[in-house]
A and B are shown apart, each in its own frame.
Chain A
């Protein structure tokens, strides 16, 4: 059961970094201006069940603006479920239910006033395996903006998005070739460009490098580092070194519970909880 809560009135529709935000529907969840450190996502005693099985248990977590928050933990610990709850991707999972509260910039994500389609426009997602559309590079980026009624210069939007995804130089001469002709790493950056084209406020990344080789992984990690100046990033990863390299904060989950969260530099040097210590040092998991 989802608990209702008052929705904050937005003070602006332009998040930090000067990124323009498309017009919002009256039912939308709108962002406010956010400086680094402001809380963008806040989970309060969040429990997510698949049927009767609680995949996420009583999790309270804050994700601050303009930072990368990594969520780590062994397989089945609930980290992807938690990530997917943030933009309501679990709505597509039969028998998934949510208890507790989840806020995006103060607005109740599971409240009746939230339009999930609009929410997903604000909170984009990049998946484990690159999943470009069976279209050209150009149309992969332009498609989302087009169906959302974008009235600006689409070509400029495509170029800007591909540049932000550090892909423009590699594809500018083959914009109208199939996205499937790109390498795995390029396809993943194309998916990031596609998400960026909608001017999201938050980017959720669910193991975005797990299908990539080390060089492509390094490119994506560099990209994440650049993206955080404009977007709030939540990253689920199995790769602890990656979490240590790219994130500002790290949350460790185990068996559905949030065990510990804190600055990455502390979590990977002096974790307070023995279970975190045992996991990061490979003693279990």
Chain B
């Protein structure tokens, strides 16, 4: 039974990582859709979000089943708690990616060159954060998880810069109000994804050490 439980945990971990990989793909496509005129790309992001939603429910159901049937302790308990929390953050990241893709369908990013440049910088950093968080989750690597936090500050700074630039150019951007709101929304969602990604990194630290590092100054 113990060997069976270890197998089930391993399968759950693989399933959670497959879901993470799917969310990474969706985020990649969502970022591309902002600068692409291909409407199909944005629609694909929306469609793939349904797969993420199904996986989220499946992973959560399995975590609850394993908790109920096996009452795990120690590292097994931490893994299940972490899987449940990471599952939630991944689903929210996919939702943010959908928001970005939906905005991208209407956004005329070329009319906002300064803001476009900032979004162009944010996207790869947020994707890099998610990659690092997922990788550290897969390999249970505290050092890898810690790398995520520094990038969050860069994303926050870029987002702040973008908001300030929209405010500074408000009178000029009156003609581009819809696009301005869209680009703000895209940037806001990227910033939210960065937050969810740091949540994952914090959960990885809990998984590895049992230490809860949320709400601590870094």
Contacts and interface: CB of A to CB of B under 8 A. Distances in A.
Interface in A255-285: 266, 268-271, 276-277, 280-283
A270 B5 CA distance: 19
A269 B5 contact: no
Contact of A244 (B6, B73, B78, B211): B73
B80 to A, nearest CB: 12
Contacts of B210: 266, 269-270
Interface in B42-90: 71-78
B2 interface: yes
27 contacts: A240-B73, A241-B71, A266-B210, A268-B73, A268-B74, A268-B77, A269-B73, A269-B74, A269-B77, A269-B78, A269-B210, A270-B74, A270-B209, A271-B74, A276-B74, A277-B74, A277-B75, A280-B73, A280-B74, A281-B73, A281-B74, A281-B75, A281-B76, A282-B2, A282-B5, A283-B2, A283-B6
Interface of A: 240-241, 244, 266, 268-271, 276-277, 280-283
Could you tell me the dominant secondary structure of chain B's interface residues? Answer: helix
Contacts of A277: 74-75
Nearest to A270: B210
A281 B2 CA distance: 8
A270 B75 CA distance: 7
Given A241-B71, A281-B74, 12 more contacts: A268-B74, A268-B77, A269-B77, A270-B78, A276-B74, A281-B72, A281-B73, A281-B75, A281-B76, A282-B5, A283-B2, A283-B6
Q: Give 9 closest A-B pairs by Cβ, nearest first.
A: A270-B210, A282-B2, A268-B73, A280-B73, A280-B74, A281-B74, A281-B76, A277-B74, A241-B71
Nearest to A282: B2
Contacts of A240: 73
Contacts of A244: 73
Nearest to B1: A282
Q: Most chain-A Cβ atoms within 10 A of its Cβ — which of B2, B74, B76, B210?
A: B74
A285 to B, nearest CB: 10
Contacts of B209: 270
Contacts of B74: 268-271, 276-277, 280-281
B121 to A, nearest CB: 39
